[in-house]
Every structure is written in structure tokens, then in C-alpha cells.
């Protein structure tokens, strides 16, 4: 029987409630054991999993270690603790993390795989530097080193692969790899579970297009007075979006629920008549890689409405699994929502098609077999 090998999974902010896909993917591997690395913990590690964070050394020392790593990319805080664990390779999630994981990989003499998710492939160089964030500035400065020295680059959609290659990453080492979701763990909902709910799950930032959804919703409430718009997620725009809902006269029909657990999100999805993600290209260039929440809604059999933006059309097949509208077009968005709310049979048909698409293209078990093939190629 082949001995399982360790793979280091690198993310600055470990176990964020909004990023269950990292743990789900790593936990699906059969021939490798994940060891999670990061600067700071934002939640508990999976049961039985190994994890190393720079803030494990107490408050004072943890702050010093995080600050030093943030500024210098010094791998020392990780390398000393990884020597006994002996990972076969490092898998960094997000290009930013790839820049920080590269010195660790080189110090240990192991390969580095980097997965690009969205903003890390689309945010323009000017915005990265102007941000003033040491992490993003370091990413801008050292990305060329990642291009030269990284082993393999994975992209969560065809759209992101095109963007990554346009940044100078080598096409022969850059692949599309859908992370996928646990299709077997998500039971398709029964139509009887559906309620008059439009659901939007997103971090409340410009890219997610929430303001256009609110403006579209204001156009349909007169015809659909019993429909509620539920918004799950937090972010810097929450206050202004709540003010916008009030100014549009729809505050009583819009529920801002803030950040929720993954189970709570799935529970809300199960009741939704429609899942809506009207993402837009932000002023910084930031765009949607794919939208994991779209996959989860589709797995439940919920029809989708999205924009012709980023990787969304790889999940929302116009006229089949839902509808696509142009970015920032609140009139078109309202029109499609009205059509869908008026046609229960179409919702059922599109929801079933969405489920079949996820089963055939985004099953995490199938995708993880492919991921482990990449691992095996590099870890020989």
C-alpha cells in the first residue's frame, strides 16, 4: 500500500467562513494529507487536520512573526516547523499567496502549485500598488519570480486562465482546474421547499454588483409583493447598500443577514426561487473567477441568474441553467427575474439542468483525482 504524503496548503487567512472550498478540496484527496499553513487563523481547523499559523506562538510573538512575514516574505517561521513534516509540495491558494509560498518551497526544495481564483488574475498593477497593502505590493513586485519559478499554475475557469496567461504566465504550465463541490453531500431540493425568495450570497464589494440587484428588485416588487430579497455576506459596502434599499423604498422586503456559516447558506439556498449573482468588473479590474456559490445553488437545483462576466458563463448557461444579462444592466436583470418568477415550470427545468451540469463538470471527487495527478507528477 502506497504511503500517503503530506501536501502543505498555504493561505494567509486560514479557515475563513467564506472560503470552505479550500478545505473541501484539500480534504477530498486520497493519496495526500493536507497540512494547512497561514499567517492567522480565522476559524477552527478541520477535525484531525494539521495546521500551522504564525499566531500560534502567543499574541505578542505572533504579531511580530506575522508583521515580519508580511513585509519581507521571510519563510523562516514556517520552514523550521515544516522540516519534520516534510511536505512533498506546497499548494498555494491565490496568486498573492503563491508569491509568499515561493520562498518556503525553495527553502525546502519542493515544488509549488498556485491556484488563481479571481482578483489575483484580474486586478491591475496600478491598483495593487496603490492599495498600500504590503501583501498586494509584494505581489506586484515579486509576481515575475512566481512566473519563472512556480511549478504549475491552476485556474478556476477558462476566463481566469486567459487572464493569467496575459500576465505572462507560461501557457504550457497553466491549466484550467475547477475546484468542484461535493455533489453527493448536497441533496437536490424538492420543489415544495421553494419559497418566494431571491437569494444573493456575496462579499459586499463593488465586484459583486449588489447595487444593481437592489435597483432591479425595486422594479419588480409592485408585481411580486410577496417576494423577499435575502442578501448573505458582509463587506465595506453594507451600510451604503442598506441606505440604497431604504431610498428605493424596498427596505422591508430586503433582508441583510451578514456572514453565515456554510450550512446556513445551503439551508437558505434550498428555499430560494432564484439565485442571483450580477457581478461586474470593478474599477481596479477585479473580476469574478467562477463563483463557487453558483455551483452550490446549482447542485441544489436552484435556477441561476448572472452576468456575462468573468467565469460566470461557464456555470450559467444562458437559457439552460438560467439566464445571463449584461453587466450593470438593471433593466435587463429585472426583466429576467420577472420572467423566472412568473414561470414555475421554467424554474424547475432550469434547476434540474443546473444540477446535471454540476454533476457532469464540477464533481469534487472527479476534480480531485485530476488535482492529485498534478501532485503526483511534481512529487516524484
**CB neighbour list of residue 162: distance below 8 Å, 6 or more residues apart:** none
> In the chain, how many domains are there?
2
pLDDT digits (tens, 9 = 90+) for 219-274: 999 899 999 999 999 999 999 999 999 999 999 999 999 999 999 999 999 999 99
Residue 64 has pLDDT above 90, yes or no: no
Percent of the chain with pLDDT over 90: 86
Burial class from Cβ neighbours inside 10 Å (0-12, 13-18, 19+) for residue 132 reads exposed
Q: Are residues 167 and 206 both part of a single domain?
A: no
Average pLDDT for 41-66: 82
pTM score: 0.92
- Residue 93: the pLDDT is 98
Q: How many residues does the chain have?
A: 380
Q: Let me know the angle formed at the C-alpha of 186 by 180 and 187, rounded to the nearest 5 degrees.
A: 140
Q: Are residues 82 and 137 both part of a single domain?
A: yes
Percent of the chain with pLDDT over 70: 98
Q: Are residues 84 and 108 both part of a single domain?
A: yes
Average predicted confidence (pLDDT) for the chain = 94
Q: Are residues 38 and 140 both part of a single domain?
A: yes
**CB neighbour list of residue 319: distance below 8 Å, 6 or more residues apart:** none
pLDDT band of residue 10 (cuts 50, 70, 90) is very high
CA distance 158 to 156: 7
Q: Is 358 helix (H, G, I), strand (E, B) or coil?
A: helix
DSSP string, 224-252: -TT-EEEEEB--TTHHHHHHHHHHTT-GG
Q: Are residues 154 and 247 both part of a single domain?
A: no
Residue 28 has pLDDT above 60, yes or no: yes
CA distance 130 to 136: 9
CA distance 51 to 307: 37
Torsions phi, psi for 42 (to 5 deg): -110, 0
Residue 38 has pLDDT above 90, yes or no: yes
Q: Are residues 115 and 85 both part of a single domain?
A: yes
- Residue 67: the pLDDT is 83
pLDDT digits (tens, 9 = 90+) for 197-221: 999 999 999 999 999 999 999 999 9
Q: Are residues 48 and 130 both part of a single domain?
A: yes
Residue 138 has pLDDT above 70, yes or no: yes
Q: Are residues 199 and 305 both part of a single domain?
A: yes
- Residue 59: the pLDDT is 54
- Residue 316: the pLDDT is 97
Q: Are residues 125 and 240 both part of a single domain?
A: no
Q: Tell me the CATH number at 272.
A: 3.40.50.2000
CA distance 101 to 332: 43
Residue 62 has pLDDT above 70, yes or no: no
Which is nearest to 278 in space by CA: 308, 303, 304, 306?
Answer: 306
Average pLDDT for 164-176: 98
pLDDT digits (tens, 9 = 90+) for 345-365: 999 999 999 999 999 999 999
Q: Are residues 162 and 284 both part of a single domain?
A: no
Q: How many CB atoms lie within 10 A of CB 109?
A: 6
CA distance 252 to 161: 42
More confident residue, 304 or 77: 304
- Residue 117: the pLDDT is 96
Q: Are residues 212 and 153 both part of a single domain?
A: no
pLDDT band of residue 80 (cuts 50, 70, 90) is confident
Q: Is 88 helix (H, G, I), strand (E, B) or coil?
A: coil
Question: Where is 141: in which H helix or E strand?
Answer: helix 134-149
Q: What are the cell numbers at 17?
A: 467562513
How far is CA 50 from its chain centroid? 23
**Ordered strands of the 228-232 beta sheet:** 254-258, 228-232, 197-201, 274-277, 304-307, 322-325
Residue 3 has pLDDT above 90, yes or no: no
Q: Are residues 89 and 130 both part of a single domain?
A: yes
Residue 312 has pLDDT above 80, yes or no: yes
Structural domain harbouring 146: 5-180+363-378
Amino acid at each position: 500500500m502506497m504511503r500517503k504524503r503530506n501536501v502543505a496548503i498555504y493561505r494567509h487567512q486560514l479557515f475563513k467562513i467564506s472560503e470552505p472550498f479550500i478545505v473541501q478540496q484539500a480534504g477530498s484527496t486520497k493519496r495526500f494529507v493536507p497540512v494547512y499553513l497561514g499567517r492567522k487563523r480565522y476559524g477552527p481547523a478541520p477535525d484531525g487536520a494539521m495546521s500551522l499559523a504564525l499566531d500560534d506562538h502567543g499574541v505578542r510573538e505572533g504579531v511580530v512573526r506575522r508583521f515580519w512575514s508580511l513585509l519581507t516574505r521571510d519563510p523562516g517561521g514556517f520552514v523550521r516547523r515544516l522540516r519534520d513534516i516534510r511536505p512533498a509540495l506546497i499548494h498555494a491558494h491565490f496568486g498573492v499567496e503563491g508569491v509568499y509560498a515561493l520562498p518556503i518551497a525553495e527553502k525546502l526544495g519542493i515544488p509549488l502549485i498556485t491556484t488563481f481564483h479571481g482578483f489575483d488574475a484580474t486586478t491591475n498593477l496600478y491598483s495593487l500598488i496603490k492599495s498600500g497593502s504590503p501583501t498586494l505590493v509584494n505581489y506586484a513586485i515579486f509576481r515575475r519570480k512566481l512566473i519563472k519559478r512556480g511549478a504549475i499554475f491552476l485556474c478556476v475557469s477558462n476566463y481566469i486562465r486567459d487572464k493569467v496567461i496575459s500576465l505572462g504566465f507560461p501557457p504550457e504550465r497553466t491549466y484550467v482546474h475547477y475546484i468542484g463541490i461535493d455533489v453527493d453531500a448536497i441533496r437536490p431540493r424538492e420543489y415544495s421547499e421553494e419559497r418566494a425568495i431571491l437569494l444573493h450570497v456575496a462579499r459586499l464589494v463593488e465586484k459583486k454588483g449588489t447595487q444593481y440587484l437592489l435597483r432591479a428588485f425595486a422594479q419588480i416588487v409592485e408585481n411580486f409583493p410577496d417576494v423577499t430579497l435575502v442578501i448573505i455576506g458582509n463587506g465595506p459596502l453594507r451600510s451604503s447598500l442598506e441606505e440604497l434599499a431604504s431610498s428605493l423604498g424596498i427596505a422591508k422586503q430586503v433582508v441583510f443577514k451578514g456572514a453565515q456559516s456554510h450550512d446556513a447558506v445551503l439551508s437558505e439556498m434550498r428555499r430560494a426561487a432564484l439565485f442571483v449573482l450580477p457581478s461586474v468588473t470593478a474599477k481596479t479590474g477585479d473580476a469574478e473567477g467562477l463563483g463557487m456559490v453558483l455551483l452550490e445553488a446549482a447542485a441544489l437545483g436552484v435556477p441561476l441568474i448572472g452576468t456575462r462576466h468573468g467565469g460566470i458563463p461557464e456555470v450559467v448557461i444562458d437559457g439552460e441553467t438560467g439566464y445571463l444579462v449584461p453587466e450593470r444592466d438593471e433593466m435587463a436583470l429585472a426583466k429576467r427575474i420577472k420572467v423566472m418568477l412568473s414561470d414555475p415550470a421554467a424554474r424547475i427545468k432550469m434547476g434540474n439542468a443546473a444540477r446535471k451540469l454540476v454533476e457532469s463538470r464540477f464533481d469534487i471527487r472527479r476534480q480531485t483525482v485530476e488535482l492529485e495527478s498534478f501532485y503526483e507528477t511534481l512529487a516524484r
